[in-house]
Amino acid sequence: MGSGKIDSDKKVLQKIFSPDFWFLIPEYQRSYVWQTENIIDLIDDLYYAFTYKNENEYFLGSLVLKRTDNDEFDEYEVLDGQQRLTTFFLMFAVLRDLLENPSYKDTLQQKIYQRADELLMIPERQRITYQIRDDVEGFIKKYVIEENGTSLIDDLKGEREKDNISISNMANALLVLREQLQEKDNLDKFVQFILNKALLIYVSTDNTEDAFRMFTILNDRGIPLTSADILKSMNIGHLNNDKDIKKYAKYWEEIEGRFGEGFDRFLNFIRTIIVKEKARSNLLDEFEEKIYKLGKLKKGHDTLEFIKQYDEVYQNVIELEDNELSNQFKNLITIMKIGLRSEDWIPAIMFYYAKFKHQKLDEFLKKLEFKFVGDWVVGVNPTPRLEAMNTILKAIQKANNPDELLENKDIFKIDLDEFKRNISSDIYKKQYAKYLLLKIEYLKSDNTVHLSGYKNISVEHILPQHPNSESQWAKDFTEEEHKFWVDKIANLVLINKRKNSSLSNLDFIEKKKRYLNGRIDVFRANKVFIDQKNEWTPEVLRKRENEIVEMLIKN
């Protein structure tokens, strides 16, 4: 292992967790932060690959390593990839304790820990040593290295409540891994798949700068890297000192951990904010051709700071972490996130906030939403809809102040007549029905409550689609009137539970009781309206329709 040598390869997990590699998590690395969701996603993805693509290699991601000056054994500092590596370290301990076969148990224990052998002068050694600040070594000895340590459920639940970030998250990971893995069929074969088919790619050198700079050579060997991997190595490889490299590598890992599978999506938002045009090729080519070659950003510090800035913007304005946001703003963003199928509006609000912060932010979001939804309801095709958002991005760039932007009627214009016609016609089967009903909820709300936490939202008819011929409905509606009103917006409400078809044909008074006593969770604005009515007739629907349509047009 001469100085300056660069190794890169792909290795299945049994080779990564073998005497060829001993890992050190240095103190400048962050804590272990994976949450329940990250772990469940990993197990689900692995089990799906095992079930349906058993013969194929399964790519898990990448490791960037720096060889240490250790003559006794092959030790590597983990510069990047420690979260995933630690998760498998914990997973092998759980599998060791779940499997019955003694030889399997022994193999897994060897992946985690080397037993001392005095005769052969082999010292005891664990596969990963943690120098991070959280003092996790004691925890690892008790729960990971000790056989049956992961079976100490009550103790682990206690550890999970501790303030120590790594210990709390590792305890949670062991509990979640155990819960997820013990219910899997063919666990023996699944472990065989993980050890022999799941692989990591790595690059290692004696030099931190080289490690990131040379990462892209893996691509030349036909080993698949994500666009995010290459962008990262390309930019961190442009930094000139160890301190910056460690700082930005740690930051990148944090942001990637936060976005998970959505990280490329976030990088695409950034691409859109810079380029302000529809993407014509993959993310990496877009950065190379439309950003770097045109001098819109420089590789290295500039790009990394830009990503850092927009991560903060995203957390503040899309994840609503800015405490100064109004409830009106939070509620409108929330219904957009729940009800809109496309996210092409997100770069515009991020760019506006980055430039103008809270100045007229509520007013801008209302105009942006009305334009975006208006074009969707009117039936504008996806490409012109996207171009409209890019036009707004360009207008934000040019504007010296919010008023200049907000007074630009052209960029927010929609076909109001067509919009009115579409929302006044049968909307039950339209893709935008649920969103428009959420918008009514928002417009009728006093915005003292933050609308959130909704799952399983569905659209319910009040006048049923197939009323009983003996029912009150048949007396109140002629066949023509039923046909006219049944799928109109005035006859639809949002409920926050799965539909219950046994309730759908009840007469209005009976249905009203079910809505109001909580048997079905109707959204608040509709609940208030229903509460005020003792009948549901064509006349009630006519008035309600006029009110709703006017409200949606006025925005």
- pLDDT tens per residue, range 523-551: 766 666 777 677 889 999 999 999 999 99
| Confidence band, pLDDT 50/70/90 cuts, at residue 214 | low
The per-residue DSSP string of 81-149 comes to -HHHHHHHHHHHHHHHHH---HHHHHHHHHHHEEPPBTTTTBPPEESEEE-STT--HHHHIIIIISTTG
* Residue 447 confidence (pLDDT): 63
Give yes or no for a contact between 81 and 250, defined as CB atoms under 8 angstroms apart. no
Lowest mean pLDDT among 73-77, 122-126, 166-170, 240-244: 122-126
Q: Reduced to 3 states, what is the DSSP secondary structure of residue 365? A: helix
* Residue 204 confidence (pLDDT): 87
* Residue 283 confidence (pLDDT): 87
Q: Please state the pTM of the whole predicted model.
A: 0.71
Mean pLDDT, range 140-163, rounded to an integer: 93
* Residue 518 confidence (pLDDT): 57
Domain boundaries of the chain, sorted by first residue: 7-220, 227-317, 327-414, 427-554
517 vs 499, higher pLDDT: 517
Q: CB burial class (10 A; 0-12, 13-18, 19+) of residue 463?
A: buried
The yes-or-no verdict on residue 99 having pLDDT over 60 is yes
Give me the chain's average pLDDT, please. Answer: 87
Find the angle CA(136)-CA(132)-CA(118) to the nearest 5 degrees.
60
400 vs 458, higher pLDDT: 400
Render pLDDT for 78-88 as a digit per residue (tens, 0 to 9). 888 888 899 99
* Residue 3 confidence (pLDDT): 46
The yes-or-no verdict on residue 97 having pLDDT over 80 is yes
Biggest alpha carbon–alpha carbon distance for the chain: 95
